[in-house]
Amino acid sequence: MNWNSILQLSEVAHKDNLDHINLLWRAIMSMDIIEIYTLLHDNIQYNGYTRIEFVKVIDSKFKKHRDYGDTQLYLDLLECPKCHKNKIICSFIGTESFVGFSLYFEIENSEIISIDTCSFYGDIENI
């Protein structure tokens, strides 16, 4: 994937050979809360939440997206200039609402070690 690139769900929807992070991104883009739950591990730090609490937060965001007519999200990779200075942020944006929420995935040795929210690019909860 290129710097500051956009990934549509249709580009990964039917691929079988995705790594763990791409499987998780695909599950988020398709708003599949069950798949997200199965892909997340208890040893990941979730911004002060347990895995179950974090999944509930994500599910709440999905419900708002559905209220605004979104059936899927696309992924925009952006650099955060503020809360995660100079880190790559995954902004998941509704294909109908064009409103999103952003997450920072800290990855070490090809494994997700923490997931944090990023408030710089806005949030579906703020509308």
Q: 48 vs 120, which has greater pLDDT? A: 48
Angle at 3 between CA 49 and CA 107, to 5 degrees: 35
What pLDDT, on a 0 to 100 scale, did the predictor assign at position 1? Answer: 42
pLDDT in tens, 4-19: 488 888 888 888 888 8
Considering only CA atoms, which of 52, 15, 13 is closest in space to residue 36? 52
State the pLDDT confidence band at 125, using cuts at 50, 70 and 90: low
Domain spanning 6-11+18-126, CATH architecture: Roll (3.10)
Q: Which two tokens stand for residue 119?
A: 């408030």
Walk across the sheet containing 88-94 and list its strands. 6-7, 73-79, 88-94, 100-108, 111-118
Contact 118, 84 (CB under 8 A): yes
CA atoms within 13 A on the CB side of 75: 28
What burial class does residue 85 get, using C-beta atoms within 10 Å of its C-beta: 0-12 exposed, 13-18 middle, 19+ buried?
A: exposed
What pLDDT, on a 0 to 100 scale, did the predictor assign at position 2? Answer: 45
pLDDT in tens, 62-102: 999 999 999 999 999 988 888 888 899 999 999 999 999 99
Is the confidence at residue 27, as pLDDT, over 50?
yes
Alpha-carbon span 47 to 75, nearest angstrom: 20
